[in-house]
Chains A and B, each alone.
Chain A
């Protein structure tokens, strides 16, 4: 089965707190791609990161960081020193190798309060 699980439906934090959004995936393929997208209140989907299954290096981009661990089939996303503008729904997604399908998790709604 190919599946993405985002167990956290909603998270609320106060500005400047660090927050981690969990993503666990299932696939039998050895080659696959993982993505994170952000959906702000305005509704559009914004691409954040793509990672292939052979690259387990953690990625940092400003206040955002991603921790990919094949051993636990997880691709977690951390926001450091959260800001109100980070309030959005965040989706983790999986594409198995050589397919045309992007399999989404159900999303985690993050609310950052001032």
Chain B
């Protein structure tokens, strides 16, 4: 039981390049989330999904897209990376709606955009 895993762990991009971050969970959770963590700002929600085939915007969705084609996977895409997207990205999952159940986090992906 690996919990929540994220691929890759580190990535360096040049401005304008694209990439996809992969999140996988093996807990059969319905809900999945993508956050970014910036110094002094805590974690902020980018997008989330309440089930396979669904996605919704969070607090800071601009510049990102997501897809949830399979229940266990949640992909975060950057179509044209910008230096402002340099951050640590965390994926999380929970069995039910945020408050009723605990969100469990992956190990994070450190992204640098030059």
Contact = CB atoms under 8 A, between A and B. Distances in A.
Contacts of B48: 100
B21 to A, nearest CB: 15
Given A47-B104, A100-B50, A106 B98 contact: no
Interface size class of B (residues with CB under 8 A): 20 to 34
Interface stretch (A63-71, A76-84, A91-99): A91-99
Nearest to B38: A106
A: contact size bracket: 20 to 34
Interface in B72-110: 88, 90, 92, 97-100, 102-108, 110
Contacts of A28: none
B31 A100 contact: yes
B43 interface: yes
A99 B99 contact: yes
B99 A104 contact: no
A60 to B, nearest CB: 19
A35 B106 CA distance: 17
Contacts of B114: none
B50 A91 contact: no
A44 B102 contact: no
A45 B105 contact: yes
A100 B104 contact: no
Nearest to A45: B105
Contacts of A37: 105
Most buried by A among B33, B40, B102: B102
A47 B63 CA distance: 29
A113 interface: no
